[in-house]
Structure 1
Amino acid sequence: MTDPSYLAAVRESYDTVADDYAALVKPPSALDPLSRSMLSAFAELVRAADRGPVADVGCGPGKVTAHLAGLGVSAFGIDVSPKMVELARTAYPELRFSVGSMTALEIEDDALGGILAYYSTHHTPPESLPVVFSEFHRTLAPGGHLLLVGHVGAGEHRRPGRAYGGHSVSFASYRLPVEQLARLLKHAGFSIDAQLAQEPGEDLRWKLAHFLTHKPTAEESGVAP
């Protein structure tokens, strides 16, 4: 299958900025308290459900994957950028990282106990998000959890041109309304357990949303086993 055209821009851009991105982006331990608490809650829910490993989709240099592992979660990372995966493997050789796309995950149905999409879906055009969320739903085991985190807005579409140390980039970014993302998640089959929106402030340049969701079990869905 041929990748969607926008993925080429994302891959090339993050290969270009990878070294500076890894140096500039905060580790989870330096995040604001609410962001850290949502990651901790996700890890606790995944451990309690015990449905399988967690895929950190769009893992970048692996900092959050390693943080989840430190919270007792069996986690591995996937990223579209080969350079990011190379950095992650070097920094965390004890963990598993692979090159892949969230539009076509090379993972069997119902195989995951959790999926983390941490600042990793905002380069996806809104019309392609149903494909991504469908892949998340397909690969997540019933009772498994998805934590989706990213900047939100009023539907802004940005092409920054340069990023992370002033490197030239060709990707686009989308800041969708919280309500639109919630609808897309529900339409994909997820139940939203918690939804947290953080307003811009000292630690945040843009509004941030966290969606803690799960894939319903057969009993929840009213489907006979």
Structure 2
Amino acid sequence: MTEGSFLTSARAGYDTIAVPYAQLFAAELEAKPLDRSTLTAFAEMVGGAGPVVEVGSGPGRVAAYLAKQGLDVSGVDLSPEMVALARRTYPGLRFEEGSMTALDRADGALAGLVAWYSIIHIPPALLPEVFAEFRRVLAPGGRLLLAFQVGDESLHRTEGFGHTFSLTFHRLLPERITELLERAGFVVDAQLVRAPDEREKVPQAHLLAHKPA
């Protein structure tokens, strides 16, 4: 998949807000036990099977949490500013620039892949191609974890965190994502939809899946 304007826009937007975004969400997982439990379950399912990549890793907090659970995890993000920030914050982990649409990994190289609120910037029509890429890089039996906001609408923001930018967010229906994953060759193992907390406006979904052996 060649880079589209949605990737260029996402890169520029997160470059602009990297520092205030990281500050706002630095301790987010501490207040979200259900989110932590999903990440912990994913880590236990992967175990020591091999390397894991978080795509759209941002400032690195989720990758760092997974590393604490014992995973060999690295992060990939579109934004050079986010990657630089993650490297400074978590010098013991690996972070690199890249896109989930064309991952720099060999076929079957990964035991696990996490997209924690990052597929929300992919136009829904292109998700089948992204899920095919996820399947390509996962080894047989490899685990996949997705998190996203629930809904069927797209939102465009042009300002926030004291800056102007252009970012589009796509809310997604769990049943539709399950269907797309199954079409891509995944088996969906679990689905959690939790109520929004005080910062959130809509329910949040977590999906755990695997590539059949």
> What TM-score comes out, normalization by structure 2 length?
0.96
**1:210 — aligned with what?**
206
Structure 1 position 29, deviation (Å): 3.9
CA-atom RMSD in angstroms: 1.4
User: Any idea what SS the aligned residue of 1:34 has?
Assistant: helix
Equivalent position amino acid for 2:189 in 1? D
Distance in structure 2 (CA, Å) of the matches to 1:139 and 1:214: 12
1:127 aligns with 2:125: yes
Distance in structure 1 (CA, Å) of the matches to 2:163 and 2:139: 39
Question: Which of 136, 146, 168 lines up with 2:144 in the alignment?
Answer: 146
Describe how 1:106-185 pairs up with structure 2 within 5 A. Answer: 106-153=104-151, 155-163=152-160, 165-185=161-181
Aligned pairs, how many?
Answer: 213
Contact 1:9 1:170 survives alignment (8 Å): yes
Contact 1:32 1:203 survives alignment (8 Å): no
Describe how 1:1-225 pairs up with structure 2 within 5 A. Answer: 2-27=2-27, 29-47=29-47, 50-153=48-151, 155-163=152-160, 165-202=161-198, 204-217=200-213
User: Any idea what SS the aligned residue of 1:41 has?
Assistant: helix
Distance in structure 2 (CA, Å) of the matches to 1:201 and 1:83: 28
Distance in structure 2 (CA, Å) of the matches to 1:170 and 1:203: 21
Structure 1 position 173, deviation (Å): 0.9
Structure 1 position 204, deviation (Å): 3.7
Q: Residues 214 and 31 from structure 1, CA distance in 2 versus in 1: closer, same or farther, beyond 3 angstroms?
A: farther
Taking only the aligned residue pairs, the percentage that are identical comes to 50
Q: Which protein has the larger Cα radius of gyration, Structure 1 or Structure 2?
A: 1
Q: Residues 135 and 31 from structure 1, CA distance in 2 versus in 1: closer, same or farther, beyond 3 angstroms?
A: farther
Structure 1 position 176, deviation (Å): 1.7
Equivalent position amino acid for 2:176 in 1? Q
1:61-80 alpha-carbon deviations (Å, 9 max, x no partner):
11111111111110000000
1:88-146 alpha-carbon deviations (Å, 9 max, x no partner):
01111111110000000010000001001001110110011111111110000111100
Distance in structure 1 (CA, Å) of the matches to 2:175 and 2:31: 25
Structure 1 position 203, deviation (Å): 5.9
Structure 1 position 200, deviation (Å): 2.4
Equivalent position amino acid for 2:146 in 1? L
Distance in structure 1 (CA, Å) of the matches to 2:27 and 2:111: 23
Structure 2, gaps ≥5 residues long: none
Equivalent position amino acid for 1:127 in 2? A
> What TM-score comes out, normalization by structure 1 length?
0.91
Distance in structure 1 (CA, Å) of the matches to 2:86 and 2:74: 10
Distance in structure 2 (CA, Å) of the matches to 1:103 and 1:213: 19
Distance in structure 1 (CA, Å) of the matches to 2:210 and 2:27: 26
Distance in structure 2 (CA, Å) of the matches to 1:178 and 1:28: 23
User: Any idea what SS the aligned residue of 2:167 has?
Assistant: coil
Distance in structure 2 (CA, Å) of the matches to 1:166 and 1:6: 22
1:140-165 alpha-carbon deviations (Å, 9 max, x no partner):
01111000011111x111101113x1
Contact 1:118 1:148 survives alignment (8 Å): yes
Q: Residues 28 and 200 from structure 1, CA distance in 2 versus in 1: closer, same or farther, beyond 3 angstroms?
A: closer
Equivalent position amino acid for 1:197 in 2? V
